[in-house]
Chain A
């Protein structure tokens, strides 16, 4: 059985938008998005629990939709938008989901947390007022062994309220200015 050593394979190169910033990266073509993020771009916030698409720990948003980065070839991401946990906050402030997860005990060991946060963000982006059942459904592909999920549901709900309030405030500011 002949093995073509990985070492002799050529590298590939892509350009894509990572957390709002355009990046160029060269890597061995067999690599998954997960591996390129962690190993070639130093973005270790995205975790892995199985590298087989079973646990959800490696979830990132690809063009706004949650994907398992361990099942996406990095080559497929040329020209696309990727959001990871590192890109959740804005202006050096935590995203409301991050604040709520930290405050309400939704992150225990914190290992599944990055994947759950981006999955929850995708949910709230598409549906600003999900029901408890919709939250359960949206997160059903993300395994968490620590929390028993309940504090996670509550954190998503708390963030949902926060985001809605912020939206209201944002609407009112121009009116006040006028």
Chain B
């Protein structure tokens, strides 16, 4: 832990710096868990079957908002095969992913807030028996009025969906100003004001959430769960079950896709844990697909307004962004999402003065949370589409415009984000070249077009979810006399290849093969804490921890081998499962022998490594969201064909360049880029989490429009375009072997690039995603009728914004603090929040 700082600024190419070629890193390779995945042997949570295992099903609310008057479980309990029924009073303690939003209960005690909110759990011998018994639970609900969207929430303070938050049904208000934006607008030659709407959508991992809990033979609790964040589940279970965390073991099974949707502690995990403890037998739950839609935590629907001032040459003089965010029924990550929606605008282009106001409201819908890109795809869409409009008005090629206004490497932005390497210029130039942009932009025949957009993303959140000064990731290595190395780490494999990253780094440093490495990951008992697979943090943070642990082990081995061979340890090389004198390579020992020598000299060989991100210069309240050790950059060109009679959009080709620092395993990196492009196209063209009100005679309730995979449209193999992926590799000294993130960033430019391409193709602006044929036809009709050739929101409602925290940017002498630390305007809030803060 003492040399954390060293690991965060360690130069890239540790081994390569000595003139050694990298043997594992950078080589396209079968991932270490590849064989398990293609043989069906990867054990997902629902693949766990244990003797005497009972099954759990949750009764979920059919109402979007209601008071629970009474629950009568007697008929269910009498049903043959039913072991146990749990209701809210069995698990009353509130929890939630963020310390400031402890607003969930595993089973609702007195109120349900969205369709699908769980009210009871039935545990039975057979899964179908539990299903049957759900029908035998008698719940007396008192229906309450519902709130369907943020605008309704703003004007409907009562009834409150939660008793905490800013006021009424406003969960969170953010107001930050970095430099005087009005002065920025006064300096501008042109001011652009645009409103955009980004519809919510969901993760849709193919694996439905599942969990199995057992009471261990010694009386402790073990739970296997398809979670991206076993450490946070561990904390939530300890809190709600009122058990010492030391007596709870959480094992994250490999996730069958996560994308952010398995990052919250979930009610079903708590319910099976409680049931296993009470019944003293294993209890399993696997959600149905419909239930996965109700768990949600997906992309927040965001209405946004961008006001941007520019000089004639495109230089930005100031930007003011306002967002109105539909949070759904619970806090989830929402406070962080609200900040994220305004945090990363400054990381791509130089914005000298920036003001952000964000408002998240509660509504009676499944809670929104983090989906790939967390909070940033929505404003990135608005920003990049507006830039396209600015470029057109200023008659500058949009790629040229962007190249002129790029932020510099290692800059500290207006909102005090410290950047790392920035190779966005190379990304833009590369996609412009390979896409033949200059020959296509505004030159393709009617109905065909190209669009361009860029983005940046975090390589790991700079701050943990709960305040602490401990490392964000830890790795332990155990060296085996037989020549193997075991890695113990909390990092969670969600398909992205976190196991492969750890194995590759350790194998590279120690000169062995990834196959010589055994992995014990995602287990809170076996490995040191890693905060989880979110915010694109694993490669850099767990990777740096693994690098440090491996270097420490290497040093011990080198010392012992140097004595044996009588060569200075600096001359030793680790490669080909040998440790040898590079001046006389035949002089050496096998890696297994090296371990034996070290063990004889030092005792059992085990090393640890850890990683803590560097301190952020953003010291103002809210400055904890946005900092990252470094940022990835992406640039995309998307080509579209739009049928003007049907509005149908086909995407034949996408070119994308990604500034990754270094690709540790290029096969997996390409998969992350293409997977991001795929998911981005889904969001751009079809995916939406939509709700509707039932007719008055049927309760007028707000219900999910299509909680099924068939009707929630996502791209199939037939919809996927050709993708030309270009990796820009300038190793970033902050990342292990120079690596930056790739899991989320490449998604971000896709949606705006599609919108910009549609404009190039048919001359209409769709300022809203998804860009459906219906919207294109409406915009085309407007164009034909001589109205504004556009489809999108026409207003941004009045929000009673608080006075902004004023933080002078670095170039105005700011030190990262606000000059007006305002006590929050609603005083009672602090007291109320105490109830929810642990």
Chain A residues with a Cβ under 8 A of chain B: 1, 3, 5-8, 28, 30, 38-39, 42, 44-52, 54-55, 57, 84-86, 88-89, 94, 97-99, 101-105, 107-114, 117, 135-137, 139-153
Interface residues of B in 708-724 (CB under 8 A from A): 708-710, 714, 716-718, 720, 722-723
Q: Does the CB pair B497–A107 fall under 8 Å?
A: no
Chain B residues with a Cβ under 8 A of chain A: 30-31, 33-44, 46-47, 49, 79-81, 125-126, 128-129, 132, 135-136, 203-208, 254-259, 288-289, 494-497, 667-668, 670-671, 674-679, 708-710, 714, 716-718, 720, 722-723
Q: Does the CB pair A6–B126 fall under 8 Å?
A: yes
The one of B36, B207, B717 that contacts A139, using a Cβ cutoff of 8 Å: B717
Known contacts A52-B708, A94-B38; A145 and B204 CB within 8 A of each other: yes
Known contacts A47-B44, A103-B34, A109-B495; A52 and B256 CB within 8 A of each other: no
Q: Does the CB pair A85–B40 fall under 8 Å?
A: yes
Contacts of A85 in B (CB 8 A): 38-40
Q: Bound state CA distance, A88 and B43, in angstroms?
A: 18
Majority secondary structure of chain A interface residues (helix, strand, loop or mixed): loop
Q: Bound state CA distance, A159 and B289, in angstroms?
A: 32
The one of A30, A45, A86, A143 that contacts B709, using a Cβ cutoff of 8 Å: A143
| B129: nearest chain-A partner, CB-CB | A6
Q: Does the CB pair A54–B39 fall under 8 Å?
A: no
Q: Does the CB pair B39–A89 fall under 8 Å?
A: yes
- Shortest Cβ distance from B825 into chain A, in angstroms? 42
Q: Does the CB pair B717–A5 fall under 8 Å?
A: no
The one of B31, B49, B128, B497 that contacts A30, using a Cβ cutoff of 8 Å: B128
Q: Does the CB pair B720–A111 fall under 8 Å?
A: no
Q: Does the CB pair B497–A108 fall under 8 Å?
A: yes
The one of A7, A46, A117 that contacts B80, using a Cβ cutoff of 8 Å: A7
The one of A28, A84, A113 that contacts B38, using a Cβ cutoff of 8 Å: A113
Output the residue of B38, B46, B47, B714 with the most chain A CB within 10 A.
Answer: B38
Q: Does the CB pair B718–A54 fall under 8 Å?
A: no
The one of A28, A45, A94 that contacts B35, using a Cβ cutoff of 8 Å: A94
Q: Does the CB pair B206–A86 fall under 8 Å?
A: no
Q: Does the CB pair B495–A108 fall under 8 Å?
A: yes
Q: Does the CB pair A7–B81 fall under 8 Å?
A: yes
Q: Does the CB pair B289–A86 fall under 8 Å?
A: no
Contacts of B494 in A (CB 8 A): 109
| A88: nearest chain-B partner, CB-CB | B39
| B79: nearest chain-A partner, CB-CB | A5
The one of B40, B80, B132, B257 that contacts A146, using a Cβ cutoff of 8 Å: B257
Q: Does the CB pair A143–B716 fall under 8 Å?
A: yes
| A3: nearest chain-B partner, CB-CB | B132
Q: Does the CB pair A105–B208 fall under 8 Å?
A: no
Known contacts A5-B129, A143-B206, A145-B257; A44 and B671 CB within 8 A of each other: no
Contacts of A5 in B (CB 8 A): 79-81, 129, 132
Q: Bound state CA distance, A170 and B746, in angstroms?
A: 45
The one of B49, B81, B496, B717 that contacts A149, using a Cβ cutoff of 8 Å: B717
What are 26 contact pairs spanning A and B, CB under 8 A? A3-B135, A5-B80, A6-B126, A7-B125, A44-B49, A45-B41, A47-B44, A49-B208, A102-B37, A108-B671, A109-B206, A110-B256, A111-B206, A136-B718, A139-B717, A141-B716, A147-B671, A148-B671, A148-B676, A148-B677, A148-B720, A149-B678, A149-B717, A149-B720, A150-B723, A151-B671
| B44: nearest chain-A partner, CB-CB | A111
Q: Bound state CA distance, A154 and B314, in angstroms?
A: 42
Contacts of A6 in B (CB 8 A): 81, 126, 128-129, 132
Q: Does the CB pair B256–A140 fall under 8 Å?
A: no
Q: Bound state CA distance, A50 and B289, in angstroms?
A: 5
Q: Does the CB pair A102–B723 fall under 8 Å?
A: no
Q: Does the CB pair A145–B38 fall under 8 Å?
A: no
Closest 4 CB pairs of A and B: A45-B40, A109-B495, A110-B37, A111-B256
Known contacts A145-B714, A151-B671; A111 and B678 CB within 8 A of each other: no
- Shortest Cβ distance from A145 into chain B, in angstroms? 5
Contacts of B35 in A (CB 8 A): 94, 98, 102
Contacts of B255 in A (CB 8 A): 109
| B259: nearest chain-A partner, CB-CB | A145
Output the residue of B39, B44, B49, B718 with the most chain A CB within 10 A.
Answer: B39
Q: Does the CB pair A3–B136 fall under 8 Å?
A: yes
Contacts of A102 in B (CB 8 A): 30-31, 34-35, 37-38
Q: Does the CB pair B37–A107 fall under 8 Å?
A: yes
The one of A7, A105, A141 that contacts B668, using a Cβ cutoff of 8 Å: A105
Output the residue of A8, A57, A103, A107 with the most chain B CB within 10 A.
Answer: A107
Contacts of A88 in B (CB 8 A): 39
| B679: nearest chain-A partner, CB-CB | A145
Q: Bound state CA distance, A94 and B560, in angstroms?
A: 41
Contacts of A143 in B (CB 8 A): 206, 709, 714, 716
| A6: nearest chain-B partner, CB-CB | B128
- Shortest Cβ distance from A15 into chain B, in angstroms? 23
| B38: nearest chain-A partner, CB-CB | A98
Q: Bound state CA distance, A94 and B37, in angstroms?
A: 12
Q: Bound state CA distance, A10 and B816, in angstroms?
A: 71
Q: Does the CB pair A151–B42 fall under 8 Å?
A: no
Q: Does the CB pair A52–B257 fall under 8 Å?
A: no
Contacts of B256 in A (CB 8 A): 47, 49, 109-112
Q: Does the CB pair A145–B206 fall under 8 Å?
A: yes
Q: Bound state CA distance, A114 and B36, in angstroms?
A: 11
| A151: nearest chain-B partner, CB-CB | B671
The one of A39, A44, A54, A153 that contacts B708, using a Cβ cutoff of 8 Å: A54
Q: Does the CB pair B720–A50 fall under 8 Å?
A: no
Q: Does the CB pair B708–A114 fall under 8 Å?
A: no
- Shortest Cβ distance from B263 into chain A, in angstroms? 15
| B41: nearest chain-A partner, CB-CB | A45
7 additional A-B pairs beyond A98-B35, A111-B495, beta carbons within 8 Å, are A38-B47, A49-B709, A102-B30, A108-B668, A108-B671, A145-B204, A146-B675
Q: Bound state CA distance, A131 and B178, in angstroms?
A: 56
The one of A57, A139, A151 that contacts B206, using a Cβ cutoff of 8 Å: A57
Contacts of A48 in B (CB 8 A): 46, 208
Output the residue of A3, A42, A146, A151 with the most chain B CB within 10 A.
Answer: A146
Q: Does the CB pair A151–B670 fall under 8 Å?
A: yes
- Shortest Cβ distance from A95 into chain B, in angstroms? 9
| B670: nearest chain-A partner, CB-CB | A105
Q: Bound state CA distance, A49 and B708, in angstroms?
A: 11
| A4: nearest chain-B partner, CB-CB | B132
Q: Does the CB pair A49–B206 fall under 8 Å?
A: yes
Q: Does the CB pair A44–B709 fall under 8 Å?
A: no
The one of B81, B496, B668, B709 that contacts A52, using a Cβ cutoff of 8 Å: B709
Q: Does the CB pair B39–A50 fall under 8 Å?
A: no
Q: Bound state CA distance, A52 and B714, in angstroms?
A: 16
Contacts of B678 in A (CB 8 A): 147-149
Known contacts A47-B206, A109-B254; A150 and B674 CB within 8 A of each other: yes
Known contacts A98-B39, A104-B667; A42 and B49 CB within 8 A of each other: yes
Q: Bound state CA distance, A105 and B670, in angstroms?
A: 8
Contacts of A117 in B (CB 8 A): 38
Q: Bound state CA distance, A165 and B708, in angstroms?
A: 43
Contacts of A148 in B (CB 8 A): 671, 674-679, 720, 723
Contacts of A149 in B (CB 8 A): 678, 717, 720
| B208: nearest chain-A partner, CB-CB | A49
Q: Does the CB pair A140–B207 fall under 8 Å?
A: no
- Shortest Cβ distance from A86 into chain B, in angstroms? 6
Q: Does the CB pair A146–B135 fall under 8 Å?
A: no
Q: Does the CB pair B723–A55 fall under 8 Å?
A: no
Known contacts A52-B709, A109-B207, A150-B674; A44 and B257 CB within 8 A of each other: no
Q: Does the CB pair A52–B289 fall under 8 Å?
A: yes
Contacts of A99 in B (CB 8 A): 38
The one of B49, B254, B258 that contacts A110, using a Cβ cutoff of 8 Å: B254
Contacts of A50 in B (CB 8 A): 208, 289, 708-709
Known contacts A136-B717, A140-B716, A145-B714; A7 and B129 CB within 8 A of each other: yes
Output the residue of A99, A108, A148, A151 with the most chain B CB within 10 A.
Answer: A148
Q: Bound state CA distance, A168 and B677, in angstroms?
A: 38
